Amino acid sequence: MRELFGTDGVRGTANTHPMTAEVALRIGAAAGRYFRRDRSAAHRVVIGKDTRLSGYMFENALTAGFTSTGMNVLLLGPVPTPAVGLLTTSMRADVGVMISASHNPHHDNGIKFFGPDGFKLSDEAEEEIEDILRSEIQLASAANIGRAKRIDDGLFRYIERAKSTFPNDLRLDGLKVVIDCANGAAYRAAPQVLWELGAEVIPVGVSPNGTNINQGCGSTDTRSAAEAVVAHGADIGICLDGDADRVMILDETGTVADGDQVMALLAARSASEDRLAGNTLVATVMSNLGLERHLAGLGITLHRTGVGDRYVVEAMRKGGFNMGGEQSGHIVLTDYATTGDGLIAGLQVLREMVQTGKRASELAHQFTPVPQLLKNVRYAAGAQPLEAMAVKAAIADAEVRLSGAGRLLIRKSGTEPLIRVMAECEDEGLLEEVVDGIVAKVSEAG
């Protein structure tokens, strides 16, 4: 049973259980023992991080844990999450680790694991690591303690990989691009890639100080980037989150296009070129009903999964599909990367602009979304608001009222103590009534 691991690794407030240096050290040791089963060979782990102040603490703690079980550690420093997936495979590592809480504020942090194939670990692997964690961890002998080494060119390897996903015969000359890096992991890589491809780059959120990651910038707060797009007369804005595995696109007016719109654009192009495997796009239950209807009109199947990019990727691998993602901006293109990559997804949108000569506003708004309302309700530790009879009754009533007219989704966040209440319905009055009714009962119970 997984107790520490959520939908995207281990996550929480830094210096508060489970995100303490002590727990991180033990997680590193347990993961080291799990991956170091074949003791006849050398074993290695690559560790990357974003720009959070607490990243230094967790980097050192994980290094101590891994080396204590005989793993050699390769330290990448601040790099995007997809760079860890890439370098885990290219450096022939047994495991990759990204220290990041993604889009969360600076006081949170997290630990994400990648297997030797560059993909995030399965639930089963995480359960085995937790089993080891609960027992006495067998340490390496003094002669077999691992070593740690800084890798200075990891970021530049990722930059070259990102550039390689953009056609060699195309350039971004003449395009003015706002790139918002959320004061996070891509603050160096993303502007460099765009500049080398010929764009006029207007950087936003590229001055990390350890505590300003995702603060008033990035994919979760696009206002600063939108202001920059309008002020500079830019052609497009690309907004990444703290670890650069998510993206939101802004058109030339500063209007936001979310992950659903980006997936609709890229899926249609890939299908037209016979490059969309299985003629299927994989997305989560959170993706808008309008996306599903739009794709159906193009003869493209939408395969839905549970919330979390790892579940999108698992469904893609199982079905042999090569494109998927989330409304929140995770865009997974397994032809290029093993996890969501906001920069690479942004480059594919730019490719469409260059090849078609169309403006971002013509490309980034592919369908009219069905009205959707999402509200988050925070609950106290240990509370089980979804078990309350009043909450169950409110949900049942909402389902009856939406029957045939929309859909309802209630779920616990896998990373925070939140209940997420989401509904879709053409009747916006009814939409607000059902969501607010459930939110009120959840608040009372939590």
> Among all residues, which ones are annotated catalytic?
102
Cβ atoms of 400 and 392 within 8 Å: the answer is: no
Q: In degrees rounded to 5, what are phi and psi of residue 128?
A: -65, -40
In angstroms, the CA 413 to CA 16 distance is 19
In angstroms, the CA 364 to CA 264 distance is 9
CB count in 10 Å sphere of residue 271: 18
C-alpha 352, offset from chain centre: 23
Count CA within 13 A, CB hemisphere, residue 392.
Answer: 5
**Among 156, 47, 159, 51, CA closest to 112:** 47
Amino acid at 443: S
In angstroms, the CA 155 to CA 13 distance is 27
C-alpha 85, offset from chain centre: 12
Structure tokens at 91: 């450096």
The Cα-based distances of 302 to 88, 206, 263, 288, 320 in angstroms read 30, 36, 11, 11, 14
Structure tokens at 124: 């089963």
Which residues make Cβ contacts (< 8 Å) with residue 155, sequence separation at least 6? Answer: 76, 77, 78, 79, 83, 188, 189
Cβ atoms of 74 and 328 within 8 Å: the answer is: no
